[in-house]
A and B are shown apart, each in its own frame.
Chain A
């Protein structure tokens, strides 16, 4: 195995192990050694986060490992991103998402995780925080030129505000402008369909898959 392969393998495992400090250091080492940042991302870190997803799906990993993996990815990207060529950046651009917890709800851990995983998989993510008024979601999505609105709800009562979000988009004649992705423990596929959302994800990985599919990248 070449030194480059060794380095890529280390990058991969830094994400799998959730060692953010090591991930960042390896990114610097890689750039110093002349490694192509796009290759470091695709064959190193992104492969690592894929593996984290697989381990999650096998039941081996749980939320702490997911969070640590996403954080490692983020720290590496902070180093590698600026070094990407403009074309590589454009090619890697999956889309822009605004994400938030819906009006009336302060549960934000799941939302943060979905945001981090979307980012780790190459989306640009604008986090609006928790208890986000329905109209603010829409205003910000317009202002940011977003492709995707992601709304999280953890309470049976606030779930209904996801429905209002879709309704408001229609009322404001903006429904076709954005794809709407909903999630959170009390939501499910049937709910998403019933309220006329475009997609649903039962966990952070499913959220990434759904987002990619919606934007024609899956």
Chain B
């Protein structure tokens, strides 16, 4: 039987639905952004709605408790606890409508449901329930947690330790499975999580309010492993040669993250104990070093990983200073040199969930490429080297204040844009891309990369210049990426023009000019409207995994769906690489693909 639900405010409309289902589902199916935080399981008390007309059964005890805990006025009910049997008239409650969830919309994230693995759920205990033998059965029932051995080992003790008397409590539950914490009353405040981008060169730690999906702060800093060498192989070499060094590398990664966490927590005035969940997106080597796993097999042919994925573990035993039962999850690795950072990036772009052909390029030290052709997905790493992070170039620096991040011609002179609006002290990746394109357009460098300037140097600002060797190093790095793209496209039988969208991710400022990246051959020759600068997708993906269980499930699915291609065994590599070393003649044609 079909019934009508009249919505009176804020935007009057009438929706029709089949009788028998929960009101929350009828409303969300009609596109109303009702906050069904606990997934309509009657646990969170957030899906408030005011019933103006209609016959309903009175609330059960659990619903009443939740309404009381929310201090809901009479007439207000929980939409997920109401079975729709006959016509209704309702008013939507503004605080129950999910606004934009900042953590899930910042960047280029596709629409993920706000459904964090860590949830705070209120519950109430009557006098006879607050002690054994009823206590555990009551709470497990109320929070819909299974009374299995997970309960025996983890949830039961947490509960017994926290509950001394009847009254209102707040539980912190992980993944609808296990109790992490129980606090009196509404508890001390929101639960927080850390989204971590653990890069070879740079790390980012973001503090995320898991109750509301807000970004509470962010800190960026260099990876302290750098003193063991700037690239992955040098660090592996150290870890392999000496056990103590391996331990030092693990410590250094941990110190990097701890220091950033301390900074962001003190800025936001959030105690470490309020952090219940950590998601790390790092490359395979970083993930191994962080957990102290053996890396030898990653350093020599045939380059295999010791582990690719693992379920969430306890964070404290791994050295994190967070709530003592907080969870740690590493975004799953795809293959030896295609890590969790790429999985996170794919989650962040959502590209594997959309029809058509898509290309994803992450321009870190490794230069990973993922190609989606219809339903088939292949990935390869191209070992571009750290040139686009500024390493090994005479004026190269990371995207920090003082770095030239963009450049273009204004008449006869170059207009530079410098991070932090100060005198230029160096050039970062996006700046080099613009400068190369600018020099090519005026013939200051030839398409072969020969530099036509006195002294083999083009000065762009006092003590900041592009040298002949810089151009050569950039050519090597661009060619690695270009070759990887060309070979993956060739294997899939695609031309650049078959690509519906191309994402370029990386730790660039937001100033990366996609057209210039295409001009120098870093991006394939596709129309400008198909190019997307996606920013730090590794961080965005980690954050999505903190805020959405579907995003986390997606990550696990993705990683197993991708075929890892080793370019080393492709006989066309060398020829393609050598030809890719020359810049494209123009940005419309790419003779390599």
Give the residues in chain B near A62, CB-CB below 8 Å. Answer: 448-450, 472, 475, 581-582
Give the residues in chain B near A108, CB-CB below 8 Å. Answer: 574
Residue in contact with B299 in the complex, picked from A63, A112, A157, CB distance below 8 Å: A157
Give the residues in chain A near B300, CB-CB below 8 Å. Answer: 103-105, 155, 157-158
Judge if B251 is at the interface, Cβ distance under 8 Å: no
Judge if A64 is at the interface, Cβ distance under 8 Å: yes
A156 with B233: CB separation less than 8 A: yes
Judge if B94 is at the interface, Cβ distance under 8 Å: no
Q: A157-B233, A157-B299 are in contact. Are A64 and B578 (CB under 8 A)?
A: yes
Most central of A61, A67, A156, A158 by chain B CB within 10 Å: A156
- The 8 A CB mask of B570-589 against A (1 = contact, 0 = none) is 00011001110110000000
Which of B165-173, B234-242, B327-335 touches A? B234-242
Give the residues in chain B near A106, CB-CB below 8 Å. Answer: 301, 568
List B426-459 residues whose CB lies under 8 Å from chain A. 448-451, 456
List A48-86 residues whose CB lies under 8 Å from chain B. 59-65, 67
A157 to B233, CA, bound (A): 7
A104 to B574, CA, bound (A): 18
Give the residues in chain B near A155, CB-CB below 8 Å. Answer: 233, 299-300
List B40-77 residues whose CB lies under 8 Å from chain A. none
Size category of the A interface is: 20 to 34
A-B CB pair tally, cutoff 8 Å: 53
Judge if A131 is at the interface, Cβ distance under 8 Å: yes
Q: A156-B234, A157-B299, A157-B300 are in contact. Are A63 and B574 (CB under 8 A)?
A: no
Judge if A109 is at the interface, Cβ distance under 8 Å: yes
Chain A min CB distance to B584 (Å): 13
Q: A64-B579, A112-B574 are in contact. Are A157 and B236 (CB under 8 A)?
A: yes
- The 8 A CB mask of A135-177 against B (1 = contact, 0 = none) is 0000000000000000000011110000000000000000000
List A82-112 residues whose CB lies under 8 Å from chain B. 103-106, 108-109, 112
Judge if B263 is at the interface, Cβ distance under 8 Å: no
Judge if B324 is at the interface, Cβ distance under 8 Å: no
Give the residues in chain B near A158, CB-CB below 8 Å. Answer: 300
Chain A min CB distance to B6 (Å): 69
Judge if B468 is at the interface, Cβ distance under 8 Å: yes
- The 8 A CB mask of B299-311 against A (1 = contact, 0 = none) is 1110000000000
B577 with A157: CB separation less than 8 A: no
A157 with B240: CB separation less than 8 A: yes
Judge if B229 is at the interface, Cβ distance under 8 Å: yes
A64 to B574, CA, bound (A): 11
Chain B min CB distance to A180 (Å): 21
Chain A min CB distance to B521 (Å): 13
B237 with A157: CB separation less than 8 A: yes
Chain A min CB distance to B514 (Å): 26
A160 to B46, CA, bound (A): 62
Residue in contact with A59 in the complex, picked from B236, B450, B574, CB distance below 8 Å: B450
A106 to B579, CA, bound (A): 20
Chain A min CB distance to B285 (Å): 12
A25 to B62, CA, bound (A): 92
B577 with A109: CB separation less than 8 A: yes
List A19-73 residues whose CB lies under 8 Å from chain B. 59-65, 67
Give the residues in chain A near B301, CB-CB below 8 Å. Answer: 104-106, 131
A67 to B573, CA, bound (A): 14
Q: A62-B449, A104-B301 are in contact. Are A109 and B578 (CB under 8 A)?
A: yes
Give the residues in chain A near B468, CB-CB below 8 Å. Answer: 59
Give the residues in chain A near B234, CB-CB below 8 Å. Answer: 156
- The 8 A CB mask of B371-403 against A (1 = contact, 0 = none) is 000000000000000000000000000000000
Residue in contact with A156 in the complex, picked from B229, B450, B472, B475, CB distance below 8 Å: B229
B574 with A109: CB separation less than 8 A: yes
Residue of A nearest to B468 (CB): A59
Chain A min CB distance to B242 (Å): 13
Q: A104-B300, A112-B574, A157-B299 are in contact. Are A64 and B582 (CB under 8 A)?
A: yes
A158 to B456, CA, bound (A): 34
Give the residues in chain A near B582, CB-CB below 8 Å. Answer: 62, 64
Give the residues in chain B near A64, CB-CB below 8 Å. Answer: 448, 578-579, 581-582
- The 8 A CB mask of B206-250 against A (1 = contact, 0 = none) is 000000000000000000000001010110110010000000000
Give the residues in chain B near A67, CB-CB below 8 Å. Answer: 578
Chain A min CB distance to B385 (Å): 9
Give the residues in chain B near A112, CB-CB below 8 Å. Answer: 574
Q: A62-B581, A105-B301 are in contact. Are A156 and B237 (CB under 8 A)?
A: yes
Residue of A nearest to B236 (CB): A157
Chain B min CB distance to A150 (Å): 18
12 A–B contacts from the bound complex (CB under 8 Å): A59-B450, A59-B451, A62-B448, A62-B581, A63-B578, A64-B579, A65-B448, A109-B577, A109-B578, A155-B299, A155-B300, A156-B237
Closest A-B pairs by Cβ, 9 of them: A104-B300, A157-B299, A106-B568, A59-B468, A156-B233, A157-B237, A156-B237, A156-B234, A60-B450
Seed contacts A61-B448, A109-B577; 9 additional CB < 8 Å A-B pairs: A59-B456, A61-B450, A62-B472, A64-B581, A103-B300, A106-B568, A108-B574, A112-B574, A157-B237
